[in-house]
């Protein structure tokens, strides 16, 4: 399942500015800090994030055709504000949800596995 594109546009302009106020501190959220591959402009994208054995997993709720994913793939990584700290992430890989679920740590692994999305991005912490 993929969420509709109209919702992605709504979130980009309405929800994301609000979420940026708290997503860097809240559990299962983070703010991905990346640079536009064409514009060289800095972006801060709030996302649902799950800790893994090597870094983080991010479900692709709107599918793999996302600008933030293209930006971090072109750059080879990004920074993320999470739990009040900034971490450096590298090696973005799009994988199936089931493959990503095998790397997710803790009690949220079962929640992650049940969410109705097909793909995720794995990033390794530097």
- Residue-wise pLDDT tens digits, 19-43: 777 778 778 899 999 999 999 999 9
Number of C-beta neighbours around residue 102 at 10 A:
14
| Total-model pTM | 0.87
Which residue(s) pair with 29 in the sheet?
Answer: 48
- Residue-wise pLDDT tens digits, 65-87: 999 999 999 999 999 999 999 99
| pLDDT value at residue 89 | 98
Distance CA(28)–CA(22), nearest Å, equals 11
Residue 42 CA neighbour count, 13 Å, CB half: 7
Q: What is the DSSP string of 28-51?
A: TEEEEEEE-TTT--EEEEEEE-EE
């Amino acid at each position: 399942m993929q969420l509709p594109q109209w919702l992605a546009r709504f979130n980009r302009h309405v929800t994301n500015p609000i979420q940026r106020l708290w997503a860097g501190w809240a559990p299962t959220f983070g703010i991905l800090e990346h640079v536009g591959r064409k514009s060289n402009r800095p972006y801060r994208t709030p996302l649902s994030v799950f800790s893994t054995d090597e870094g983080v997993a991010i479900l692709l709720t709107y599918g793999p055709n996302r600008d933030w994913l293209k930006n971090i793939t072109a750059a080879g990584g990004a920074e993320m504000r999470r739990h009040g700290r900034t971490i450096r992430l590298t090696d973005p890989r799009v994988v199936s949800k089931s493959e990503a679920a095998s790397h997710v740590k803790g009690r949220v692994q079962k929640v992650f596995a049940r969410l109705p999305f097909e793909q995720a991005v794995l990033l390794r912490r530097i």
